[in-house]
Amino acid sequence: MQPSYLRPTYIEVDQQAIYHNVHEEKKRLNPETALFAVVKADAYGHGLVPVARVCQEAGATGFCVATIDEALALRAAQIAAPILVLGITSPQAAPIAAAQNIALAVGDQDWLTMATPLLKAVPDCPQLKLHFATDTGMGRIGFTDVDALKAAAAFVKASAYLTLEGIFTHFATADEKDTTYFEKQVAKFKVLLNALPERPKYVHVANSATSLWHEACQCNMIRFGVAIYGLNPSGSTLAAPYELQPALSLYSELVFVKQIHVGDSVSYGATYTAKNDEWIGTIPIGYADGWLRRMSGMSVLIKGKRCPIVGRVCMDQVMVRMPEKFAVGEKVTLIGHDEDDEITLQEVADYAQTIHYEIACGLHDRIPRHYLPKRED
């Protein structure tokens, strides 16, 4: 989608906050533990390449992404650090991953069998780095059986085109108070890990939630994700061990202001009808930007005052009820601080009955990202 640079709606990304969050986590780790910054989904909506660069400055030693296209975008930006693609990649992409020094997650031996002849067909092809995904209870991707894992490890060991760089799992409940299921997954991972005849370079189970609240099991790498962006993985269930500084704010401005009268209606379906004379402001953001239709009734901040969205959210515009007449051009805060008040991503997510991950990732690239510079200490 084409970014709308001439529209007054924009996202502000605080690079100092990102630096702070990564640096604080890095300080808690053993010096031997690698921190791979998870920058998938355009860095959770914050901007892939700018976020990756700040993470490197803060001490990240590598990156995790969801797709090989995201990995290639990092390489195109001259980022040479290790990259792991967490999702399953088509075997057809194995040669380009090898050529670009991109590690791929693999969850079964069939993938290895299909990728090998494709690698063999490329003259002087580098070895493809692999991380074995293990399914210990997430039910998504990965080896579940010791024998299958050992057979795949033997296949890689005998191959001139493959090398096993890592093994990992993903926890389903690391952000919950009840650790029963988490501990069950840990136990299963230990069984699978100990079945390998040789321990690979990287062993990793820790996402943001695991790193913040649990002791990692026999691991030397973490996948630091949503906490990079100052978002608590548990929402508000568990307190973070250090201050997480939110990095994303969302702003716009009033483009139209009018007074409506008793009985006048607003937006599609005429679902909102004024019971009094009211001031209505129009803001140029809508569900095409990721501001969901279910945000109707959610407040925005104008001059420090909460103004609820009235009527249905349109594709490109929303209307708000204002306590008084505000001028066209007045700043509108949808996420962030305004005077003594703040609307957080968590508040927006709670209102929309979802998680803050979805709100951040759903803010479309039609909204330009503006980057506040990191402080030079």
pLDDT tens figures, 192-230: 999 999 999 999 986 665 656 556 566 899 999 999 999
Separation of alpha carbons 350 and 256, rounded Å:
29
Q: What is the pLDDT of residue 210?
A: 63
Residues listed for the chain: 377
Q: What is the pLDDT of residue 268?
A: 97
Separation of alpha carbons 231 and 14, rounded Å:
13
Residues of the chain with CATH 3.20.20.10: 15-229
| Residue 328 CB partners (closer than 8 Å, separation 6+) | 254, 255, 256, 257
Residue range 304-317: average pLDDT?
A: 98
Residues of the chain with CATH 2.40.37.10: 248-343
- The conformation of residue 244, written as its DSSP 8-state character, comes to -
- The conformation of residue 93, written as its DSSP 8-state character, comes to G
Q: What is the pLDDT of residue 199?
A: 95
Residue range 355-363: average pLDDT?
A: 96
Of the candidates 353, 345, 352, which has an alpha carbon nearest to the alpha carbon of residue 287? 352
Residue range 136-150: average pLDDT?
A: 95
Q: What is the pLDDT of residue 107?
A: 96
Q: What is the pLDDT of residue 217?
A: 61
CATH topology of domain 15-229: TIM Barrel (3.20.20)
> How confident is the prediction for the chain on average, in pLDDT?
94
Q: What is the pLDDT of residue 237?
A: 64
Q: What is the pLDDT of residue 214?
A: 56
Would you place residue 232 in the very low, low, confident or very high pLDDT band (cuts 50, 70, 90)? confident
Residue range 357-376: average pLDDT?
A: 94
Residue range 151-167: average pLDDT?
A: 98
Q: Which of 19, 26, 40, 129 is catalytic?
A: 40
Tens digit of each residue's pLDDT (9 = 90 or more) over 78-134: 999 999 999 999 999 999 999 999 999 999 999 999 999 999 999 999 999 999 999
Residue range 183-192: average pLDDT?
A: 91
Asked whether 155 and 111 are in contact (CB, 8 A), the reply is no
**Cα 229 from chain centroid?**
8
In this structure, what token pair is assigned to residue 77? Answer: 């930006």
Look up 161 and say whether it is catalytic: no
Q: Which of 157, 258, 268, 325 is catalytic?
A: 268
pTM comes to 0.92
Tens digit of each residue's pLDDT (9 = 90 or more) over 240-292: 778 899 999 999 999 999 999 999 999 999 999 999 999 999 999 999 999 99
Look up 40 and say whether it is catalytic: yes
For the domain covering 248-343, report its CATH number: 2.40.37.10
Binding residues for substrate: 140, 315
